[in-house]
Structure 1
């Protein structure tokens, strides 16, 4: 590896043997090497440099024949900067202490006599793992800047939808969310509720496609005692439950025609009657609907009421599929990895570069839901700290078909490359500029040119 590649990589070598110090210094001339000989010097150097990787000889003064000072140094390093990758260097017959150092948090160990070429491979791998974990932390921090709670997105398409939702949430306008299955329609419905004046009240959701027709009416409107066989007590329906809050009608395109007329009356009058009851009950509720079907086509086929369509679509929001949301697949993948690694107490901490490319290139027919399921399975099945394409059961995808116009090709390619680079490095502008091979001012100019944030 060239000196230019490693120029900014800071490496601390903790070794008290002058001969080994000289050997190691010249063996790693491609790094910014800091050689120290005791615990105090090591900690002072780490405070100044925040070096990602440290090699540590366990036998340190004042008692080089004992490993206690080495273990104390290891623990102090990890207490100071827990993300540091410490490679413990031990004697040839000292495997027990090497394993103990791993238990204390060391990244890896290497047994003397030292072969610089082998040690260099271990050190470079440690730098790579540290870099991927750093990207993971940066991407997780980016979620805090998401325009809506629970919505993880960085693509222009989704950020525009977030802006629309921010505008409509304080109102009582009835919203219709349109999009393929798994695109996150319920997440956005909950965001509308959370940003509204009704956020302290109930959010009631019902899936119109998952409940048989003869039960859907009672689920929505409730029923009085004795209204039908088995109705042993009065039961409040979802609409009444949501009074003061938000009612989310998922897959409304599958609502039976018989119930559509009753739903239209409720939306117009804002009153309901429980099944078996005669009393009109006023309900103050915000209504949000969602479907993955083409309602205009269903209207043409006589399967959906046109008057109901106009009532539920005072504003329609088209949610793009994941394959059309540049950069979002990688961003979501990191979020799901963190979530399921924590749930399963897993050692998994990131993805290989090949896995990130596979995630980026895949078409995601099942959208966010499919991505989440693949990441969840991979976290459970992974053999190492980094998830691979094979564990995701993915291969690198092909590029999208580009337009013929050369100016459009160039602009689309530049915008896509910027979003991709920023996703890969967690929003770090300097790293993204290096990855793209341009200066920071040039990157800022391009970000402004294409309206990217």
Structure 2
């Protein structure tokens, strides 16, 4: 429960007997109480330097009535909880007051315990609102667009567009390799928008079994399918009023894309197994490390959905293409990891700058964390503190950047059939992964849906 000590309650009622009773009950309970006989005097107190933590007001007062006082009070202090006192038979008016911002009402004649419990709950509600506001402000500072690190021209352009897009309601598509910071940018976009005080909900589409994606997004009612032992709220409903971040959207099944498109257009959706439609007000930020343009041409991604989510497109370059940002990023991560004063030797810096960073910024942060933990007794990070592959300048087996040196490919004099070549590459990828379509698609740099389309095209099973 809330601490009453120091909590100020303003009481407004033109009935002196009621006013005295309320004043005494609250004072005996430990509150600091100020009571006035009119709405006009209450408004003057609300405009004063020492504002109350809660307001208790009668609805029927001469001059400025309780409803008008309530509306002025909420204008001055939107977080102020107000409890209205209503006579028997005037409950409808009290309910109207709640629609206009009152926290609750008590009906005359009221019991002392009912009044005190209502006040206690109202103040607790205010504390929760204030704490949420503090957390939202802290998150907004942490994820300020100004805190994103990048000095190169490409990143500056990303920040410029992000700053213009964040306050809008436009859907945003983030393109970039794994580890480039797409989720961090998505959070910054959310916390620099008018939805900052509402939920930011994330989901990695590729990490959810295909059979469960629909129920995760839209919810499910008990008994809808085997294993649905209880009803569950979907991510759209959880994100209502806020932002839903759909990571790896390119991995979504084509039939679910149609349902997603309908929800994005209308806000309406139907939980799995339900006959009733729900509605959610959600802003979408989507991300992918795939080429959605190719997926669209291959029929693996809906063209209409692509245009719906790609109103604003932000392309985050891989770290190897903005290596000039390395000193800025290193300084940022050293501070984040509590080693702001630690130096990096020039030889170690050369190794870091020469590395191709297949895991991008995420890999850089983890590499620095490792070096800080395992470094020797010297006051700086030396080449010997770095991972063996970075010291050697080549990736270990199975950890290349996945790119073939296409310049080494020779085309025979008699030519080759490109379709046969594609079929063979896909077949080899499926053999290498034991038929795992998701891993095979990742090996050849396409989405799973595109892989399935091309398997059907070439008659592969």
- With structure 2 as the length reference, what TM-score do the two structures score? 0.51
Q: Is the contact between residue 220 and residue 272 of structure 2 (CA under 8 Å) also seen in structure 1? A: yes
* 2:177 equivalent among 151, 175, 180: 180
Q: Compute the RMSD of aligned alpha carbons.
A: 2.4
Q: Which residue of 2 aligns with 1:170?
A: 167
Q: Is the contact between residue 147 and residue 162 of structure 1 (CA under 8 Å) also seen in structure 2? A: no
Query: Does residue 338 of the first structure (1) align with residue 335 of the second (2)?
Result: yes
- The gaps in structure 2 that reach 5 residues or longer are 1-140, 395-461
Where 1:328 maps in the other structure, the secondary structure is helix
Query: Does residue 392 of the first structure (1) align with residue 386 of the second (2)?
Result: yes
Aligned ranges 1:203-242 → 2 under 5 Å: 203-242=200-239
* 1:320 equivalent among 314, 317, 321: 317
Q: Distance in 2 between matches of 1:333 and 1:365?
A: 17
Q: Distance in 2 between matches of 1:305 and 1:270?
A: 19
- The gaps in structure 1 that reach 5 residues or longer are 1-143, 399-453
Q: What's the CA shift for 1:348?
A: 7.8
* Cα 1:370/1:264, change in 2 over 3 Å: same
Q: Which residue of 2 aligns with 1:256?
A: 253
Q: What's the CA shift for 1:303?
A: 1.2
* Cα 1:259/1:392, change in 2 over 3 Å: same
Where 1:177 maps in the other structure, the secondary structure is strand
Q: Distance in 1 between matches of 2:361 and 2:225?
A: 41
Q: Which residue of 2 aligns with 1:303?
A: 300
Aligned ranges 1:31-430 → 2 under 5 Å: 148=145, 150-341=147-338, 349-383=342-376, 384-393=378-387, 394-395=390-391
* Cα 1:146/1:306, change in 2 over 3 Å: closer
Residues 277-331 of structure 1, C-alpha deviation per residue, up to 9 Å, x if partnerless? 1211111111000000001111222211111111111111111111222432222
Q: Distance in 2 between matches of 1:308 and 1:250?
A: 15
* Cα 1:363/1:267, change in 2 over 3 Å: same
Q: Is the contact between residue 348 and residue 379 of structure 1 (CA under 8 Å) also seen in structure 2? A: no
Q: Is the contact between residue 143 and residue 188 of structure 2 (CA under 8 Å) also seen in structure 1? A: no
* Cα 1:331/1:145, change in 2 over 3 Å: farther
Residues 129-157 of structure 1, C-alpha deviation per residue, up to 9 Å, x if partnerless? xxxxxxxxxxxxxxx99971551222222
Where 1:228 maps in the other structure, the secondary structure is coil
- With structure 1 as the length reference, what TM-score do the two structures score? 0.52
Aligned residues: 251
Q: Is the contact between residue 289 and residue 312 of structure 1 (CA under 8 Å) also seen in structure 2? A: yes
Q: Is the contact between residue 144 and residue 191 of structure 2 (CA under 8 Å) also seen in structure 1? A: no
What stretches of structure 1 move > 3 A for 4+ residues in a row?
A: 144-147, 395-398
